[in-house]
Structure 1
Amino acid sequence: MGLKQGKVLVVLTNVSSYGEDSEATGLWLAEATEFVDELIKAGYELDYVSPKGGQVPLDPRSLKKVYAKQGDFAIKNSQDFQVRALKHSKKPSEVNPADYVALYYTGGHGVIWDFPDDEGLQALAMSIYRQGGYLISVCHGVAGLLNLKDEEGSYLIAGKRITGFTKWEEILSGKLGKVPFVTENAVKQRGADFQKKRPFASHALRDGRLITGQNPMSGRAVAKLLVESLATEVN
């Protein structure tokens, strides 16, 4: 299997609470670590970026053993992930989009606040996309795709088959009243064809160079779709 030359950029949140609500949130661990694991196994190098750069908070719920496996903790506790992802993530201004074949928006509720309108992330994403790269998201990470627009000013996801965290999953998570918008509704409002399976079942799909996953159980499936897609371009 050949490798398309270039690295993969992983986008992380800087937000540690639900807006003005003091309940803690942040990156959902497995949505980063399972993707990272698959890409490293496939031979890709990764970098980590966040809207503000620097420290990335972890959602404490995502550290419970019912949600995180031994492999997730192994990556979390590695020196590379601790330093380059959780403590010293890059700022968008420190990243050269020409180095990357894909950009991946991780999830966790925090991203709803800092992904959708961050101009630095938007510029990176569209540069990578225009040079033939892939844009990927999982769960709430689809918030990073919501406001991207093409050269004609149309939403990039309009008319595309897209998935993300569903309204029913938000209800089951007990967070419907704490989020500023529901990702499923926001995707539909931008003209995308929202696809979903039963709550908390792994589900990932590709439409062109957009790859999206429904929920925290979908990070590995999204990663495999990306690796397959990149390999097809080389072979």
Structure 2
Amino acid sequence: MKKILIVVTNTLRYGQTDDPTGLWLGEATEFAQILEQAGYVVDYVSPRGGFVPLDPRSMKYTDAEIMEMYATPDFQRKALTTSLAPEQIDPADYAAIYYAGGHGVMWDFPDNQPLQNIAAGIYANGGYVTSVCHGIAGLLNIKTAAGNYLIADHQVTGFTKAEEILAGKQRVVPFFNQIEAEKRGAHFLKRRAYREYAVQDDRLITGQNPFSAKAVGRLLVQNLQAK
């Protein structure tokens, strides 16, 4: 059985500010738990490999399930201290790639060519490209072998401008997900702020916000098990 690859951020702060950010913990743990319960092995990769910071705000939105996985030595090692670097990844080993969010990804996901190559390879092999919340930043510049944006002419979702405003981050983020996705020809869908919502279009599965990680995971498992 092929594995599942989760992409996490190395970014510590919002741009040039001292405001800390990083991985939104639940977006990794909730997705990973669903895939592992379905029998899949999960690996973690980051743009630079190694240490992955946690967004301190994400710790305010934990529950027993999130904390249970966060407490495991396996998760702490694979996801937070010794995440893989892109050059250690063979796309042929994976059935899907999942871009977890947290605001930090807006700085180190969009222009990372090695990660784009991994995702494009997984997709070309018949695999799935998935994301949640700000993780859509990792999908923006992935291109197909024909040179087209992968998300062009596809329905996608991600963290919305309304949600950025509610989070108080609209003035510090480098872009808005909907605007950038639509520039690349995607059809951006959205629902009420901070409600679970996931969209599937062919082999692209995306979730709107932190409360959508489980929905993305469930959709991916359904697709993988149907093959």
Question: TM over 0.5: same fold?
Answer: yes
Using the TM superposition, give the Cα deviation of residue 70 of structure 1 relative to its aligned residue in structure 2, in angstroms. 1.2
Which runs of no fewer than 5 residues in structure 1 stay unpaired? none
Q: 1:13 — aligned with what?
A: 9
- 8 Å contact from structure 1 (residues 167, 185) kept in 2: no
Q: 1:112 — aligned with what?
A: 106
Q: How does 1:1-235 map to 2 (within 5 A)?
A: 5-64=1-60, 67-233=61-227
Decide which moves more: 22-31 or 144-153.
144-153
Using the TM superposition, give the Cα deviation of residue 205 of structure 1 relative to its aligned residue in structure 2, in angstroms. 1.1
Distance 1:162 1:89 in 2: 27
Q: Which amino acid counterpart does residue 199 of structure 1 have in structure 2? A: A
TM-score by length of 2: 0.99
Which runs of no fewer than 5 residues in structure 2 stay unpaired? none
Identity of aligned residues (%): 54
SS in 1 for 2:87: helix
SS in 1 for 2:18: strand
Give CA-to-partner distance per residue, 1:90-122, whole Å, 9 cap, x none. Answer: 000011111100000000000000000101101
- 8 Å contact from structure 1 (residues 165, 214) kept in 2: yes
Distance 2:49 2:114 in 1: 11
Distance 1:149 1:37 in 2: 29
TM-score by length of 1: 0.95
